[in-house]
Amino acid sequence: MNEALTAIRRLVDAGDARGAIRELRAHAETTDPARLAPLVQGVARLSGLDALASAAAALAAEPRGAQELYAYGYACVEDGASFLAVPALRAALREAPGSRRVLVELVAALEREERHTEATELLRAREPDLAPWPERYLLAHNALVAGEVALARDTAARLPRPAGADESWRPAEERLRRMLGRAEAVAGFCPLDDRDLRGWHHVLTGGLLATLSPYGFADGMTGRWAFLQDSPGLCRLGLDRLRLTIEAAGAAPRAVCALPDRSSRIMALAAARVLELPVEPYAPDRPDTVVVGYDLGDSDPALLRGLLDRAPGQVLYEHATCWTRPPAVCADVSGLLAQHCVPFWGEQVRQDPDGSVGTSPADDRAERDIAGDVLAADPAPDPGDGATPPDTDEVFRSFAARLAGRRPRGPREWAAPSGPVRSSRFA
């Protein structure tokens, strides 16, 4: 271990904060937080994180102090290093086992790390002593995101409505009850197990996932993409599934609106042809329209905030949804889930004859011409490696029809990125 710490110190001394963080992650759970604290202090200074640097210095000086452990863990959560916060906050809870403040912050750190099963176990072990807000709510929420629907439902049923000092938890309670309602809607129709990506995507976000990745399903991807170089066929398939969704819902949009970036305009031009609708200028509150985006993460956050609340009859479509860094607004229909997706009209990675890797230049043709490539493409799903469950139009139409009578309610906020269905990702 001393060798590992020395290696991290060398990275810090060399100014390599990213490399040091990578190594700290590898040793965070097996090393006393106080031993790592001086190294974290160095990384924090390199990164301009003054509060974290101060908290790390205080922990190094007082290794067993409950307050020092808590303050350090809190700073780690605030500055995006929840993996360092978890062991520190566990240690703080051992020093101060009755502290509600430490317990809630530890749950927050576990949630940031998508360790919802651990958060559930931690809270369930203390259930008799949990206050309704936020601890018992956190048990229900984490149980649901961990896939324990029955526990989530039973815990939520015993929650009083938040009032008085707990009033700020009302939006969270309403979001939880919407998710539980969606779980009830697909019960008996979807397995809602650790491989049911489409079912859980709907439960957690309220959106419909149009397609599953046909590669690596049984090897860690479970329907999501890691890196994807998009194709006209995938774009067309997503739009065809959008059309099936609108038909199943009996909706009657009157126009397509494009988000203002180039990729979204290309997709909107193609969508208008597929749906046989005119194109209108984008406005977030325009009713009875299909708002089309390629990747909402590329959109201005201020613009997206206008889409948080649904206009009457409005459908928000996003072709490529980033599942590791989801946008603040969840689409009503997502074409696919990818960690990183390159439009087929963008720069493409290629392997040259000599084995080296290069890039092909972006396609600078007119947007309408590129949209024509989407319209002309074969929308037949890629058979892939044969391990992905059937993802035919009939399978998707059946899912969309099941939900046809349940119009989405509430804002389009995003929930947990992965939920019970996990996928491999780039670090």
| 187 occurs within a structural domain | no
For residue 298, what pLDDT is reported? Answer: 86
CA atoms of 194 and 250, how far apart (whole Å): 31
Amino acid in the structure at residue 345? W
The answer on 391 and 344 residing in a single domain is: yes
CA atoms of 181 and 199, how far apart (whole Å): 13
The answer on 54 and 25 residing in a single domain is: yes
- Judged on CB neighbours under 10 Å (0-12, 13-18, 19+), 117 is middle
User: 69 with 36: CB under 8 angstroms?
Assistant: no
The answer on 128 and 232 residing in a single domain is: no
- Judged on CB neighbours under 10 Å (0-12, 13-18, 19+), 391 is buried
User: 256 with 279: CB under 8 angstroms?
Assistant: yes
For residue 1, what pLDDT is reported? Answer: 62
| 388 occurs within a structural domain | yes
The answer on 264 and 168 residing in a single domain is: no
CA atoms of 30 and 33, how far apart (whole Å): 9
Q: pLDDT tens-digit profile of 230-247?
A: 999 999 999 999 999 999
Return the CATH number at 164: 1.25.40
The answer on 232 and 202 residing in a single domain is: yes
| 53 occurs within a structural domain | yes
Residue spans of the chain under pLDDT 50 = none
User: 288 with 316: CB under 8 angstroms?
Assistant: no
| 419 occurs within a structural domain | no
3-state secondary structure the chain: CHHHHHHHHHHHHCCCHHHHHHHHHHHCCCCCHHHHHHHHHHHHHHHCCHHHHHHHHHHHHCCCCHHHHHHHHHHHHHCCCHHHHHHHHHHHHHHCCCCHHHHHHHHHHHHHCCCHHHHHHHHHCCHHHCCHHHHHHHHHHHHHHCCCHHHHHHHHHCCCCCCHHHHHHHHHHHHHHHHHHHHHHHECCECCCCCCHHHHHHHHHCCEECCCCCCCHHHCCCCCEEEEECCHHHHHHHHHHHHHHHHHHCCCCCEEEECCCHHHHHHHHHHHHHHCCCEECCCCCCCCEEEEECCHHHCCHHHHHCCCCCCCCCEEEEEEEECCCCCCECCCEEEEEEEEEECCCCCEEEECCCCCEEEECCCCCCHHHHHHHHHHCCCCCCCCCCCCCCCCHHHHHHHHHHCCCCCCCCCCECCCCCCCCCCCCCC
Q: Which residues on adjacent β-strands are paired with residue 256? A: 279, 290
Q: Which residues on adjacent β-strands are paired with residue 229? A: 342
In 3D space, the residue among 231, 181, 209 whose CA is nearest the CA of residue 374 turns out to be 231
Q: pLDDT tens-digit profile of 79-112?
A: 999 999 999 999 999 999 999 999 999 999 999 9
Q: Which residues on adjacent β-strands are paired with residue 280? A: 257
CA atoms of 424 and 205, how far apart (whole Å): 20
Question: In which residue are the tokens 């649904």 written?
Answer: 310
The answer on 164 and 233 residing in a single domain is: no
At residue 53, what are phi and psi to the nearest 5 degrees?
A: -60, -45
Q: pLDDT tens-digit profile of 267-323?
A: 999 999 999 999 999 999 999 999 999 999 988 888 888 999 999 999 999 999 999
Q: Which residues on adjacent β-strands are paired with residue 360? A: 348
CA atoms of 391 and 398, how far apart (whole Å): 11
Return the CATH number at 313: 3.40.50
What integer best gives the mean pLDDT of the chain?
Answer: 94
In 3D space, the residue among 61, 63, 84 whose CA is nearest the CA of residue 73 turns out to be 84
| 425 occurs within a structural domain | no
The answer on 202 and 239 residing in a single domain is: yes
The answer on 202 and 161 residing in a single domain is: no
The angle subtended at Cα 47 by Cα 28 and Cα 105, nearest 5°, is 50
The answer on 217 and 91 residing in a single domain is: no
CA atoms of 422 and 427, how far apart (whole Å): 14
For residue 63, what pLDDT is reported? Answer: 94
| 412 occurs within a structural domain | no
For residue 55, how many C-alpha atoms fall within 13 Å in the half-sphere facing its CB? 25
The answer on 158 and 200 residing in a single domain is: no
Enter the tokens of residue 112.
């940031």
The angle subtended at Cα 111 by Cα 105 and Cα 115, nearest 5°, is 120
The answer on 153 and 210 residing in a single domain is: no
For residue 352, what pLDDT is reported? Answer: 72
Q: Which domain holds residue 241?
A: 192-402
For residue 410, what pLDDT is reported? Answer: 85
| 337 occurs within a structural domain | yes
| 387 occurs within a structural domain | yes
Domain end, chosen from 128, 157, 182, is at: 182
Domain end, chosen from 123, 153, 182, is at: 182
The answer on 150 and 233 residing in a single domain is: no
Number of domains in the chain: 2
pTM of the predicted protein model: 0.94
